[in-house]
Amino acid sequence: MTGYFRTAILMAAMTALVMGLGALVAGGTGVVVALLVAGAMNAFAWWNSDKMVLRMHNARPADTRDGLELQRMVADLASRAGMPVPAVFIIDEDQPNAFATGRNPENAAVAATTGLMRRLSREEVAGVMAHELAHIRNYDTAIMTVTATFAGAISMLANFALFFGNRRDSPLGIIGLLAMMILAPMAAALVQMAISRSREYEADRVGAEICGNPHWLADALERIQAGAARIDLNSAERNPATAHMFIINPLHAHAHDRLFSTHPATENRVRALRAMAPGATRRPARPGGPWG
């Protein structure tokens, strides 16, 4: 419950930033306009973000032999989680990684790279897919779509504040307006990243419960982190704004928790997972498993 409360507070902060910038641009009318703009942007993202993201990463339906095996795994895990089975996609990239997208559990998708299926054992892939299903069940995919849209709206309003704000009557003056133009988008990005980090920890916990063994997910995180540190994920490099969606930052992020990091430190996540079941059986990794 603490994670949800923190997310609610951060979302409120994001909304306050939108309203504050709207007021700076046009007073009370600006607040209304800002909320309407943010609402329209969110409505568009709500209905189209999953298709847009899958297209950005050239994801294809999992209808090949290895894809059908992945589909069966996801269906089994979704049944355990008591949720609808999402659409399953494959991304032809060598870096091991995965993400989930969609506005709700009834309209969701999970995507895994070919590198994930080739380099991880079956148990580790199950841990990763369980993590992504946790994001869907917790509505994290919708939350992150909304926060990303708010961040974009704040950047747009910050530019409006510079060019259309009433600088003569503003108590901030031109220096204050310039500061707001720079600091407001930075603050929005920080809030967005804080929400993303908070939701990752919760998805790890729930994902471990879904797959039944926290060590599977912990082992997968360590293996994915090692792969992401040395293998490019080209589609993510072309679309860095989607990096927060992946289970591990695909853009070669440093290992430590940082103010501008979209993900918690991997070692912190692994430590929390191993603490969930210190006596659980750890099967030896079999890279490639049934994936071929």
Give the pLDDT score at 167.
Answer: 47
Contact (Cβ atoms closer than 8 angstroms) between residue 83 and residue 136? yes
**Arithmetic mean of pLDDT over the chain:** 78
Q: Which residue has the higher pLDDT, 82 or 12?
A: 82
Query: Coil, strand or helix: which one is 60?
Result: strand
Q: pLDDT for 84-135, tens place per residue?
A: 999 999 999 999 999 999 888 999 999 999 999 999 999 999 999 999 999 9
Q: pLDDT for 174-223, tens place per residue?
A: 555 566 566 666 666 666 666 667 788 999 999 999 999 999 999 999 99
Contact (Cβ atoms closer than 8 angstroms) between residue 19 and residue 25? no
Q: What is the reported pTM? A: 0.75
Instruction: Name the pLDDT band for 37 (thresholds 50, 70, 90).
Output: low
Give the pLDDT score at 220.
Answer: 97
Give the pLDDT score at 74.
Answer: 97
Encoding tokens for residue 45?
A: 């993202």
Give the pLDDT score at 208.
Answer: 95
Q: Is 9 left (phi over 0), alpha (psi -120 to 50) or beta?
A: alpha
Give the pLDDT score at 292.
Answer: 42
Full DSSP string of 190-249: HHHHHHHHHHHHHHHHHHHHHHS-HHHHHHHHHHHHHHHTTS--HHHHH-GGGGGGBSS-
Q: Which positions are catalytic?
A: 132
Q: Is 281 left (phi over 0), alpha (psi -120 to 50) or beta?
A: beta
CA angle 267, 268, 273 (to 5 degrees): 95
> How many CA atoms within 13 Å lie on the side-chain side of 209?
10
Give the pLDDT score at 158.
Answer: 64
- Judged on CB neighbours under 10 Å (0-12, 13-18, 19+), 256 is exposed
Please give the average per-residue pLDDT across 226-250, as a whole number.
Answer: 89
Give the pLDDT score at 110.
Answer: 96
Element containing residue 79 per DSSP (H, E): helix 65-81
Query: Coil, strand or helix: which one is 48?
Result: helix
